[in-house]
Amino acid sequence: MNNKIKKFIKNFTYTFSANALSIIISTVLILIVPKYISVTNYGYWQLYIFYSSYISYMSLGLTDGAYLRFGGYEYKKLPKPAFVSQYWFLVFFDIVVNFSIALFYGLQSDDPSKTIVVIFTCLTGILVVPRSLLTFMLQATNRIKEFSIITILERIIYFFLVIVFLICGVRKFEFLIFADVIGKICSVIYSFFVCKELVLGKFESLKVSLKEILVNISVGSKLLFANFASMLIIGIVRFCIERNWSINTFGKISLALSISNMLMLFINAVAVILFPALRRTSEKNFPAIYRIMRSIIMVPLLGLLTFYFPAKILLSAWIPQYTESLVYMALLFPMCIYESKVLLLVNTYLKTLRKEKLMLVINLITVGISLVTTSIIVFIFNNFNLTILSITFLLALRCVVAELALARILKIQVKKDIILEISMTVVFIVVSWNLNNSIAMIVYFISYLLYLFIKKNEILSLIKNSRVLLKSK
């Protein structure tokens, strides 16, 4: 086994361990927390998670630009003084911006609970944005072990504190948020030690520092806005749900989204190591690698949709107060198929090929469609079912458009596979929503077997030729 294969397997082991732990912790929290706190408290907790997912984008694109520019570098070859300057620039910038947001919201808000959520969210921004520069550099330079430990440390502390609070009878959402903040603080401290050369040391000259900051922002802003727009596709729908219905409804739908998104943690484990690996790979191998990775992802993911049916029964028995939201998993569960493909394959390839502008255009178009369709469905028709279904529709639309654009660049054919996957998604949603749970599972399983029969030649070819994935000449 050559060194490249060993390195890939070693890095995958680290990221798989970190993300497997995250999946376990997320699963336990998804199952435990809603059981013991009120629907309202759960709603505010999910609102904090929702807001904090956006506050982390206050890097102006600097961290994204550094990630793109230095992806594939050796850590020791990074310009350390320039990164010290950029790190502390982010610290100062985020303190000013987040303090201003918290002050402004606090002065005009009439909801004390939401004010607490916003204040904690702003504190989170001060912690995670500067840290993202360090974690991005660890990923870009293939220091996957240290990056994984940062992830593991944050999640373990968060999980431990939440369980302690619940055992002690604490049922307020503020303490759940506090646990998350403490976990982030500890991970930030650890990141100082593993990236001390990027945090503590000699500053670069003001002229060079400003030049590096502006170059990274210029390079990364397209990727930042592309990722931000990607989140807005679902974010607009969730925001309208919270505004038009209630915090309780928002919490219930957030639970269904959390369950549907659990698979994304594992997919992210592969995406983390695939980008630097592709940067070191000849472009002539890109089409072959894409076809292999596509089959590796999509074949098992479509099969995993079968687990929705027993999961619905078990979760309904465990948290009956959320039975209504679990019904909507029938509409949301397929979103993991399209999000997984975009995160692991499409976006990774577009970043490697430096097509951030294309990512941005596709995501902005989808955001525009999301804004129009959601406004009509929510505020004119007031149709909750269609609102939830629109999430999967929008993500599928974005995925199909982006993959077709990428396929043109790589000069490969994917239309047949796209049609098959859309067909499987439609079958799953229709039978899950309209048929008895047991009958629906049987119908979908038969459909999946038919899908495997259609794909049998590609699957057999994949097994025979999977070593192509690890070649890089």
pLDDT in tens, 161-172: 999 998 998 889
Under 8 Å between Cβ of 427 and 447: yes
Averaged pLDDT, 352-379: 86
CA distances from 386 to 80, 392, 393 (A): 51, 10, 10
Under 8 Å between Cβ of 266 and 20: yes
Instruction: Look at the chain and count its residues.
Output: 473
Residue that terminates a domain, selected from 148, 172, 204: 204
Same domain, 181 and 277: no
Burial call 320-345: b when 16+ CB within 10 Å, e when fewer: eebeebbbbbbbbbbbbbbbbbbbbb
Burial call 144-175: b when 16+ CB within 10 Å, e when fewer: bbbbbbbbbbbbbbbbebbbebbeeebebbbb
- The domain in which residue 252 lies consists of 218-473
pLDDT digits (tens, 9 = 90+) for 327-365: 888 888 888 888 888 877 888 788 778 787 888 888 889
Q: Is residue 110 part of a domain?
A: yes
Q: What is the pTM of this model?
A: 0.75
Same domain, 350 and 286: yes
> Which of these ranges, 80-84, 256-260, 269-273, 417-421, has the smallest mean pLDDT?
269-273
Q: Is residue 7 part of a domain?
A: no
How confident is the model at residue 441, as a pLDDT? 92
Same domain, 31 and 162: yes
Comparison of pLDDT for 5 and 360, the residue scoring more? 360
Burial call 399-421: b when 16+ CB within 10 Å, e when fewer: bbbbbebbbeebeeebeebbebb
Same domain, 231 and 295: yes
Same domain, 409 and 274: yes
How confident is the model at residue 329, as a pLDDT? 82
* Number of separate domains in the chain: 2
CA distances from 40 to 32, 54, 113, 338, 350 (A): 16, 22, 10, 31, 41
Eight-class DSSP state of 56: T
Same domain, 195 and 252: no
Under 8 Å between Cβ of 122 and 86: no
Same domain, 196 and 224: no
Residue type, 413: Q
In angstroms, rounded to a whole number, what is the distance separating the alpha carbons of residues 295 and 407?
Answer: 15
Residue that terminates a domain, selected from 160, 180, 204: 204
State the burial class of residue 38 (Cβ atoms within 10 Å of its Cβ: 0-12, 13-18, 19+): middle
**DSSP-derived secondary structure for 185-201:** HHHHHHHHHHTHHHHSS
Q: Is residue 466 part of a domain?
A: yes
Residue type, 322: Y
Residue 274 has pLDDT above 70, yes or no: no
pLDDT digits (tens, 9 = 90+) for 441-468: 999 999 999 999 998 887 777 766 655 5
Helices (H), 195-246: 196-199, 206-244
The four Cα atoms 431, 435, 436, 437 give a dihedral, to 10 degrees, of 20
Q: Is residue 1 part of a domain?
A: no
Residue 276 has pLDDT above 60, yes or no: no
How confident is the model at residue 472, as a pLDDT? 45
Comparison of pLDDT for 14 and 192, the residue scoring more? 192
Residue that terminates a domain, selected from 169, 204, 239: 204
